[in-house]
Structure 1
Amino acid sequence: MSDIILLITFKNDLINYSKEQLRNISEEGVWSIGQMYDHLIVVAHEYLDNMESCATLNEDYSLGKTQFGEQLFSNGGFPPIKIRLPEELNSPPNNSDSKEDLISRMDQLIQRLSHWESKVDDINPKNKVEHGGFGWLNAKEWYVLVGMHFRHHLRQKEELESYIV
């Protein structure tokens, strides 16, 4: 499944949730479905911002990925585990967006990803921006990371949906 189709599928799934279901927090420390969507959208835009930075750089970086970054890209995705960020990076995502807001935000993200789909391969692969955990990534890697991140959250999505049935 292409990354854009994956994002469209996530967006289309929003239709199935009521306002209460989107905001339902089953227990302390567990996100709502709405928070998961907010997280995915915010992080995807951060990744695309870094991809766009790679497009404007004029310096070649020979710096590489961390060991985890190498593993991530050689495996084509995140390991099937829950990943908890350090507390200072782990503030809860927004839980107040309506279904319509989330659909609109997903549409904007899909449009942005689609805009770059045919252009990302033309960006110099030596132009890189550092990711705190994965090391130095080029534009294509930042672009691919969007889909990897969405796929990583598929299990979480299924788990959160089981709490609202």
Structure 2
Amino acid sequence: MGDNELLVTFKSNLYNYSLEQLRYNSDEGVWSIGQMYDHLIVVAHEYLDNLEICAALNEEKPFGKTQFGEQLYKNGGFPPIKIRLPDELNSPPNNSDSKEFLISRMEQLIHRMSHWKSQVDYINPNNKVEHGGFGWLNGREWYELVEMHFRHHLLQKKELDSYLV
């Protein structure tokens, strides 16, 4: 899927959920579908913020990726496993947004991605911002990470959907 198709599909899927389904937690420590969407949107904007920093930098960063970062980009995505961040980085996402507000937030994200799609190739590839786990990423890599992260959560979405009645 290209041209933000995956994000558009995620947004379209929101129309199929009731508010109760979006907020349903099947078990202690398991996110609701709404929490998963909140997480995806918040993280995507963090990645795009770093892309914008890359675009504004006047100084090149000759640093590289971590071994995990190299593997991630070589494979074009995350491994198909659950990844749990350390507790200090893993506060539960918001579970109170309405369906309409989540749709609006997805539309804003898609708009922001579309804006950068036409500009990302003009960012100096040596202008980089450090990611805590993947090392130093340039604007193109931050842009690609948004879709990789959404793709990674497809398995979680499928699992959460299976808990709904």
- TM-score, length-scaled by structure 2: 0.99
Count of residue pairs the alignment pairs up: 165
Contact persistence 1:39–1:93 (CA under 8 A): yes
Paired position in structure 2 for 1:131: 131
What pairs with 1:79-158 in structure 2 (closer than 5 Å)?
Answer: 79-158=79-158
1:29 Cα offset (Å): 0.9
Paired position in structure 2 for 1:32: 32
Structure 1 counterpart SS, 2:95: coil
Contact persistence 1:127–1:139 (CA under 8 A): yes
Paired position in structure 2 for 1:59: 59
Paired position in structure 1 for 2:73: 73
- TM-score, length-scaled by structure 1: 0.99
Runs of 4+ in structure 1 displaced over 6 angstroms? none
Structure 1 counterpart SS, 2:62: coil
Q: Indicate the percent of aligned positions where both proteins have the same amino acid.
A: 78
When the two chains are superposed, the root-mean-square deviation of aligned CA atoms in Å is 0.6
Structure 1: where are the runs of 5+ without partners? none
Measure the CA separation in 2 of the matches of 1:95 and 1:21. 11
Paired position in structure 1 for 2:11: 11
Amino acid at match of 1:6: L
Paired position in structure 2 for 1:50: 50
1:63 Cα offset (Å): 0.4
